[in-house]
Amino acid sequence: MPHAILPEAEMAGPTGELASRQLAMPADTNPWGHIFGGWIMALMDASAVMSAVRRADGPVVTAGVSNIHFLQPVHVGDSVCCYTREVQTGRTSITYAVEVWVLRGGLGERIKVTQAEFTFVAVGEGGQPRVLPAPEGQGRQTG
């Protein structure tokens, strides 16, 4: 499979905070020997939810996933790293850009393999949406 030429921003490395790191294992492969895309998506969701829970100061639920792009395959033995960056905040919702980078066999240069946006809604008692707290150092959100 030919490798795409990455724009300068992607060659520089991941953006956001390291939210999780996982070793790709044989049990997570598809019939062709690559790591199953659903496993990558679940890892991305779990990584972003950890960031969203901290920002929301409580429970959140996944409301949507958009702009997912699988750029390179992930192989057994790769160290899979998920980075999250807050990109949009609404009254009750928050969206994170999630980038997945790997170290082939746990060594060498990082390679960007997947990217997507995950949107979460803060929920309170009974699962009803609740207003997000203001970011640290700012007053309460309005609107």
pLDDT digits (tens, 9 = 90+) for 89-135: 999 999 999 999 999 988 889 999 999 999 999 999 888 999 999 88
Mean pLDDT of 20-34: 94
Q: Is residue 130 part of a domain?
A: no
Q: Is residue 137 part of a domain?
A: no
Q: Is residue 131 part of a domain?
A: no
pTM, whole model, 2 decimals? 0.85
Q: Is residue 106 part of a domain?
A: yes
Q: Is residue 118 part of a domain?
A: yes
Q: How far apart are CA 96 and CA 102, in angstroms?
A: 19
Question: Can you give the CATH number for the domain in which 36 is found?
Answer: 3.10.129.10
Q: Is residue 49 part of a domain?
A: yes
State the residue range of the domain holding 28: 18-125
Burial of 139 (0-12, 13-18, 19+ CB in 10 A): exposed
**Tally of domains in the chain:** 1
Confidence band, pLDDT 50/70/90 cuts, at residue 142 = very low
Vertex 56, ends 51 and 57: CA angle to 5°? 100
Q: Is residue 7 part of a domain?
A: no
The sign of the CA dihedral 115, 117, 66, 5 is negative
3-state secondary structure of 96: strand
